[in-house]
Amino acid sequence: MGGAVKSTPPCLATMSIKRTTQFWGFTMPDIEEMPVEATVEETVEQPEESKTEQQDDREAADKLKKKVKRSERSVKSYQFFILRLLLLILVLWILFFKVVGLTHMPSEDMYPRIDAGDMVLFYRLEKNFKAQDIVVIEKTTPEHPDKKELFICRVVAAPGDTVEISDGERLIVNGNVMIEKNIFYATPRYEGFTTYPLKLSDSQVFVLADSREGGTDSRYFGPVEKDEILGSVITILRRNNL
């Protein structure tokens, strides 16, 4: 027991060494402490730089995503605009080539109702024509048998009617003398063209110009087939109001 060596706890040994060092006046440089502090500083600064880089990367990625989204929106807007434009063109094509039509009055034949040069809007889908309808016609004439010409005339006799023009220049339909309130001229025959009395088929109408003296109509080119009629006039746009 007398020869046993007592062990000193590590913490006490460290304290005794420090005291001894201070007691004997040794000045120990803080060699161990300096690297530790530097290491601590480095370990603190490194995560901050990494975080900054990650944040920059995220910001760049967000900017790229926003740019891509803007591009996608622009493309979609352009596609939507093109689609609407094509739809509008299709609607206008159907409207003006299948439903309605627009043309001009080529002559004074319908004066004073329609003057030469007036714009005429007509309805293409009308197929049941009756007396007093104003119609747009494309028809050949005895003078130009190979070329269709445009005419605008008034229907005076419907399919199945019998038409005659008397020696007294009166219009007679089915044996009845027609009293036309808006016509201010006599209705003379054009000799050498249409023969009277004329019986119309189920697909024919008889048309006359309102300007009866010299107007180009069925007295000259004969009865009009339904498939030669482009449509019935809806309204008139006066040339002097354009």
Distance (Å, whole) CA 28 – CA 12: 19
pLDDT at 32 over 50: no
The vertex-139 CA angle with 94 and 155, nearest 5°, equals 85
Determine the structural domain holding residue 65 and report its residue range: 32-99
* Residue 24 located in a structural domain: no
Mean pLDDT of all residues belonging to the chain: 81
pLDDT at 146 over 60: yes
Report which of 213, 161, 149 is spatially closest to residue 183, judged by C-alpha positions: 213
Q: What is the pLDDT of residue 70?
A: 78
The residue ranking higher by pLDDT, 8 or 155, is 155
Same domain, 197 and 225: yes
Q: Give the global pTM.
A: 0.66
Q: What is the pLDDT of residue 51?
A: 65
Q: What is the pLDDT of residue 1?
A: 45
Same domain, 115 and 233: yes
Backbone angles phi, psi at 215, to 5 degrees: -70, 145
**CATH number of the domain that 115 lies in?**
2.10.109.10
The vertex-116 CA angle with 114 and 118, nearest 5°, equals 65
Same domain, 178 and 161: yes
Identify any residues that bridge with 168 across adjacent strands, giving them in sequence order: none
Same domain, 175 and 137: yes
Mean pLDDT across 218-225 = 97
pLDDT tens-digit series, residues 159-192: 999 999 999 999 999 999 999 888 888 999 999 9
pLDDT tens-digit series, residues 85-115: 999 999 988 888 889 999 999 999 999 889 9
31-35, 96-100, 212-216, range with the lowest pLDDT: 31-35
Q: What is the pLDDT of residue 48?
A: 64
C-beta of residue 162 within 8 angstroms of C-beta of residue 175: yes
pLDDT band at 240 (very low <50, low <70, confident <90, very high): low
* Residue 23 located in a structural domain: no
Final residue in a domain of this structure, among 54, 80, 99:
99
Mean pLDDT across 122-135 = 93
The domain total for the chain is: 2
* Residue 185 located in a structural domain: yes
* Residue 7 located in a structural domain: no
Q: What is the pLDDT of residue 23?
A: 41
Report which of 226, 210, 218, 215 is spatially closest to residue 164, judged by C-alpha positions: 218
The residue ranking higher by pLDDT, 90 or 24, is 90
